[in-house]
């Protein structure tokens, strides 16, 4: 019998804010949090942080001279990690591991340094140490003065949920009693947006910028004819502890993972075989009828949304759980997206309120929300499914 894993804290920063009360209030509002910015020489819709959140990040940057040269992805992770550590009641005397990943890492800083190199032929002294992937967990460990293992990794958009898998593995192996896991992403940069446009998966910037279009990202709209993905920025971490803790917000009841056999660099099969396998693994000890909600990956792309939906149909048959995604509201935060989905899942269970998608047919909640399945998948078909329960 596998030992229970408790989630004793979860904290985030995104377009919804940083405080749990405000985040929940914003989830209850039927509006998205997209704004127009000039990126890649064009007006582009993105989900950036609000003014209050940016002030917190600026304050953190100015609080220590060493922090002034750090990328936003690192600062986001540091801020939410401080909050999570306090919420979980951890202290500097506790031994805990840290695994915070990122799809793209120090994106903004890397692009800045590279532009300078192209212009001058010289790189700044700190260009390398401030743009390496291990930068995120290392600086968080420094900021928290932790003494456990520090791990960074990138598995594209499933990065945060892979952090959860890794933390669970350490805990169940007896190599740690506590682990802080999550993801951080600050991808609102010219080159990143240009890459998404090249893949033809980004929301059409001219239509998305039109104020008459109420829902620029139509995540889970299976009738859409073109992809509507929009990028967001943010970070999230949760604190994992071995055993059933009294202060647990939720318990991890099942985990699953699988990888597609690739036909293309960004391919996923028509029925998302990887999701079928990851969901079945996560649910192997759970009756399908017990799953109340699925927080889908659903990035807003035509193929991504439809293939995941078909995988759910194959696994669950005609009795589908309630289905939702938060990307229509806060965009796709790449490596951080999975942990933000976990946060939404925990909030729905705690409040016993289903947060649906306003431009879809209403789904009727008929029973308390006790179990929620969270999905994430990245380029290369690396799928992860996590089952949470109260």
Each residue's pLDDT tens digit, 338-376 = 999 999 999 999 999 999 999 999 999 999 999 999 999
Strand pairing report for 5-13 and 322-324 = unpaired
Can you tell me the distance from the alpha carbon of 6 to that of 238, in angstroms, rounded to the nearest whole number?
A: 10
In 3-state terms, the chain is what percent helix, strand and coil (to 5)? 35, 20, 40
Band the pLDDT of 17: cuts 50, 70, 90: very high
Please state the rounded mean pLDDT for residues 233-238.
98
- Reply yes or no on whether the pLDDT at 205 is more than 70: no
DSSP secondary structure code for residue 363 in this structure: P
SS3 category, 211? coil
pTM summary value:
0.95
**Predicted pLDDT at 269:** 65
The whole-number average pLDDT for the span 11-16 is 98
The tens digit of pLDDT for each residue in 137-185 reads 999 999 999 999 999 999 999 999 999 999 999 999 999 989 999 999 9
Q: Parallel, antiparallel, or unpaired for β 250-259 and 150-151?
A: unpaired
**Domains in the chain, please, with CATH?**
5-242 (3.40.47.10), 253-389 (3.40.47.10)
Nearest-angstrom CA–CA distance, 67 and 80: 15
pLDDT number for residue 379: 76
Q: Give pLDDT tens digits for 299-341.
A: 999 999 999 999 999 999 989 999 999 999 999 999 999 999 9
User: DSSP for 175-200?
Assistant: S-SEEEEEEEE---SHHHHHHHHHTT
DSSP letter assigned to residue 214: S
User: How high is the mean pLDDT of the chain?
Assistant: 93
pLDDT digits (tens, 9 = 90+) for 20-45: 999 999 999 999 999 988 888 888 99
- Give Cβ neighbours of residue 94 (< 8 Å, ≥ 6 apart): 178
How far, in Å, CA of 90 to CA of 252, rounded? 20
Backbone torsions φ then ψ of 67, nearest 5 degrees: -85, -10
- DSSP annotation of 364 reads P
């Amino acid at each position: 019998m596998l030992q229970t894993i408790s989630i004793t804290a979860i904290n985030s920063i995104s377009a919804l804010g940083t405080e749990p009360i405000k985040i929940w209030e914003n989830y209850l509002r039927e509006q998205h949090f997209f704004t127009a910015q000039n990126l890649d020489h064009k007006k582009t819709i993105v989900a950036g942080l609000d003014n209050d959140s940016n002030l917190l990040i600026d304050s953190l940057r100015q609080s220590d001279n060493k922090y002034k040269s750090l990328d936003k992805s690192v600062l986001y992770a540091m801020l939410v990690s401080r909050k999570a550590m306090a919420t979980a009641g951890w202290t500097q005397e506790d031994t805990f591991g840290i695994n915070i990943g990122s799809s793209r890492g120090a994106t903004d800083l890397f692009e800045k340094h590279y532009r300078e190199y192209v212009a001058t032929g010289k790189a700044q002294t700190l260009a390398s140490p401030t743009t390496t992937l291990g930068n995120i967990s290392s600086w968080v460990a420094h900021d928290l003065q932790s003494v456990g293992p520090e791990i960074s990794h990138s598995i594209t958009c499933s990065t945060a949920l892979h952090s959860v898998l890794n933390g669970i593995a350490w805990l169940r192996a007896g190599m740690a009693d506590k682990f802080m896991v999550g993801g951080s992403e600050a991808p609102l940069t010219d080159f990143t947006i240009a890459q998404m446009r090249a893949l033809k998966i980004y929301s059409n910037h001219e239509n998305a910028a039109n104020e008459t279009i109420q829902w620029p990202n139509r995540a889970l709209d299976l009738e859409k004819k073109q992809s509507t993905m929009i990028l967001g920025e943010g970070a999230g971490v949760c604190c994992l502890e071995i055993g059933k803790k009294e202060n647990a917000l939720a318990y991890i009841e099942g985990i699953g993972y699988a990888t597609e056999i690739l036909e293309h660099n960004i391919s996923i099969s028509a029925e998302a075989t990887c999701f079928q396998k990851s969901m079945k693994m996560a649910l192997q000890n759970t009756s399908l009828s017990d799953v109340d909600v699925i927080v889908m990956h659903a990035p807003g792309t035509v193929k991504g949304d439809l293939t995941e939906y078909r995988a759910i149909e194959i696994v669950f048959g005609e009795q589908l759980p309630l289905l939702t995604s938060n990307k229509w509201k806060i965009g796709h935060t790449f490596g951080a997206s999975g942990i933000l989905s976990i946060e939404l899942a925990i909030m729905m269970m705690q409040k016993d309120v289903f947060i649906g998608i306003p431009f879809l047919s209403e789904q009727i909640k008929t029973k308390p929300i006790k179990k929620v399945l969270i999905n994430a998948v990245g380029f290369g078909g690396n799928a992860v499914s996590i089952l949470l329960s109260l």
